[in-house]
Amino acid sequence: MLEISDNGRTWLLTGPTSSYAVHLTDADELLHLHWGPRIALADAEALAVRPLPEYWPFESPLDGREEYPVEGGPRFVRPALSVRTEERRGTEWGFERYESDGDELRLRFRDDGLTVTLHYRMRGDVVERWVTLDNQGPALELLRADSATWTLPDREDWRLSQLHGRWGAESRLARAPLTYGEKVIGSRRGHTGHQHLPWVALDTDATEERGEVYGCALGWSGSWRIAVAQLPDARVQITGGAGYDDSGLLRLAPGESFTTPVFAGLWSDGGFGGASRAWHAYQRAYVIPNADQDRPVLFNSWEATEFDISEEQQSLLARRAAAIGVELFVVDDGWFGTRTSDRAGLGDWTPNPDRFPSGLKPLAEYVHALGMQFGIWVEPEMVNPDSELYRAHPDWVQHQTGRKRTEFRNQLVLNLARDDVQEYLWKQLDELLSSAPIDYVKWDFNRCFTDAGWPGEPYPQRLWVDHVHALYGLLDRLRAAHPGVAFESCSGGGGRIDLGVLGRTDQVWTSDNTDPLDRLAIQHGFSQLHPARAMAAWVTDSPNAMLNHRASSLRFRFVSAMAGVLGVGGDLTRWTEEELAEAREWVTRYKEIRPVVQRGDLYRLRAPRGGLSAVQYTLGDETVVFAWLQAQSFGEPVPALRLRALDPTASYECLETGEVHRGAVLAHHGLRVGLRGDLDATVIRLRRI
């Protein structure tokens, strides 16, 4: 809901539990008024007439209070907008008008030929913000154009939560006091990166289920930056957007425009858990395509066969996968070109004639005949120098004239900003998806940008921004042309997870780390922002071959992976009959609880910190509890789990044991889970009766 004051200078957006208000002063300064619990328009108007504090000349009263601080004038904060023409730098804007369109508010400002429009849209309690810049004046350089600046209320002792990591260890939650100065996270690698998810949360004293939490998440899959500043008067602002540096995002010629990605903000007073549930609901309702459809159980061949694949051996795996109840069989890397190792073939998206003499169709049809969907792996944005594509078009890669072309994993990055590269990829992928009954594409990206240059193009070069737009364009076009095909975003595991790519993909590959214990920490972090519906998790072989050689039971591996979108990635040809039979039981059990996991509300009951950890999902009358015991010490009994969101006056039947529990008892005294030893785990289903 949008309300506007009579004088047309105060705007109030209201969601189910929160409000957001801004005000334009008589001097056309756009000030932030409120972000927090619901307020009335009269409250916003009262805030609007509170005078700004007076400062000595070394501080600016605008700092920490503006909605979108531009460069220049009486400001010392990091500008959200930094613009340079041939003659001058900075922005001096005047207000033009506001427009409202359903639930979207647009505030339009002008500085000579440049129009800057701030967009606001309320989605539940999530405020989506972005900016459009339209240049009708002389050419200019956009040095920086953030999507939004978020202002927090005056409080003491802010804490900052972030999700950090690296390859094989993504999305790990870190929480620490904020101090004066700036904390900057981001990626200057051309993709979202394993190092940080583009999200921050700030609180002062929240717990898992109580207290105020402010969160901000950026929807952009290229380089990005979020800066959290605690200013000299302790006020806190968060500014973020595309690109890492302030040294040139784009050149805007006369008549050109740029739209920033969305930077979404959420206030919740339900603690970290309440904030996560609101983010999950928002993504299921507004971001992730077809989120009302549950994702199938998949098998992926990567850990089982790596590059050494053949039609016959994949058919054998497919038979085993079908027998344990898998619904989608995905052939990973190695099916195309001369791709028998990571040294060759990327770029040539036609089946390897030695491995698939009649193309992918016979295998796809065989998989379908087994009752499963068929999927394949691609990495379209890359090329091996040893490929037909590179031999034909060495100029199609990002490079700098006369400089070395840095290789990682023997591959170079294609310059997707080029129309001819986009057209080539569209044709190759469209033909591929038309050549066989393919239902699923795992879209990978296995190295960062290094020599991102485009010889002959003026600086600042568009290639950083246009690469992301081209990626989005390709995904959108392929989805429209092949509406039955689902897509997974992968980047060497979780290197491309953000709200931008999630708007075009059905799930993400969370991490190449499939060790079920490490995964609990990764999943704990991931769940702060993203829902289980998007979080792919595989059961692989034990000991874990990829990362740490840790041995774990099939039970522990399944219960870990079942907390997300379940997949199997082990070498099923080496699993015993007993293991296959047990796997079949777990897959059957997962299908029964899947709607609750993928569409339910998540409650993190205990974080994975060494002993017992647990999560609960609840949907309607159904509740599922996952509990994992890393290690039992001194024979101590494992604590009971106090469940959330149950009706204290109702009874709940445990579908495992038939026992009936009182809601009030489960909430106050807890559910006993009976785990013991090391790496034990269980799934408990409860139904309200």
Please give the residue ranges that form the binding site for ligand DGJ (CB under 6 A). 302, 332-333, 377, 444, 446, 490, 492-493, 509, 512
Annotated binding-site residue? 203: no
CA 224 from centroid of its chain's CA atoms: 13
Annotated binding-site residue? 490: yes
Could you tell me which residues come within 8 angstroms of residue 324 by beta carbon, excluding any fewer than 6 positions away?
A: 568, 572, 580, 583, 584, 587
Nearer to ligand DGJ, 309 or 681 (CB): 309
Minimum CB–partner distance for residue 547 and ligand DGJ (Å): 12
Whether 512 sits among the annotated catalytic residues: the reply is yes
Minimum CB–partner distance for residue 167 and ligand DGJ (Å): 9
Paired strand residues for 671: 641
Catalytic residue among 512, 541, 601, 680: 512
Annotated binding-site residue? 167: yes
CB 140 within 8 A of CB 265: no
Distance CA 179, CA 202 (A): 12
Tokens 């429209």 found at? 480
Catalytic residue among 348, 444, 466, 515: 444
- Full DSSP string of 151-210: EPPS-SS-EEEEEE--TTS-SEEEEEE--SEEEEEEE-SSS--SSEEEEEEEESS--SSS
Nearer to ligand DGJ, 243 or 493 (CB): 493
Annotated binding-site residue? 332: yes
- Which region, left, alpha or beta, applies to residue 424 given φ > 0 means left and ψ of -120 to 50 means alpha? alpha
Q: What DSSP designation does 327 have?
A: -
Annotated binding-site residue? 420: no
CB 508 within 8 A of CB 502: yes
Tokens 């897509």 found at? 487
Nearer to ligand DGJ, 93 or 509 (CB): 509
Minimum CB–partner distance for residue 302 and ligand DGJ (Å): 4
- The residue number with the shortest CB distance to ligand DGJ is 333
Minimum CB–partner distance for residue 610 and ligand DGJ (Å): 28
Annotated binding-site residue? 586: no
Minimum CB–partner distance for residue 443 and ligand DGJ (Å): 10
Nearer to ligand DGJ, 387 or 446 (CB): 446
Nearer to ligand DGJ, 122 or 309 (CB): 309
Minimum CB–partner distance for residue 300 and ligand DGJ (Å): 7
Distance CA 511, CA 523 (A): 10
Nearest C-alpha neighbor of 265 from the set 230, 229, 211, 218: 218
For 364, the enclosing helix (H) or strand (E) is helix 361-369
Paired strand residues for 491: 494
Minimum CB–partner distance for residue 343 and ligand DGJ (Å): 12
What's the CA angle centered on 614, arms 612 and 617, to 5 degrees? Answer: 170
Could you tell me which residues come within 8 angstroms of residue 651 by beta carbon, excluding any fewer than 6 positions away?
A: 660, 661, 662, 663, 688, 689
Annotated binding-site residue? 333: yes
Minimum CB–partner distance for residue 332 and ligand DGJ (Å): 5
Nearer to ligand DGJ, 270 or 492 (CB): 492
Nearest C-alpha neighbor of 332 from the set 436, 442, 487: 442
| Cis peptide upstream of residue 357 (ω within 30 degrees of 0) | no
Nearer to ligand DGJ, 167 or 286 (CB): 167
Annotated binding-site residue? 512: yes
233-256 burial string, b = 16+ CB within 10 Å, else e?
A: eebbbbbbbbbbeeebbbbbeeeb
Distance CA 311, CA 317 (A): 10
Annotated binding-site residue? 233: no
Annotated binding-site residue? 544: no
Nearer to ligand DGJ, 128 or 518 (CB): 518
Distance CA 626, CA 611 (A): 14
Binding-site residue positions for substrate: 167, 332-333, 409, 442-446, 490, 512
Enzyme catalytic residues: 444, 512
Binding-site residue positions: 167, 332-333, 409, 442-446, 490, 512
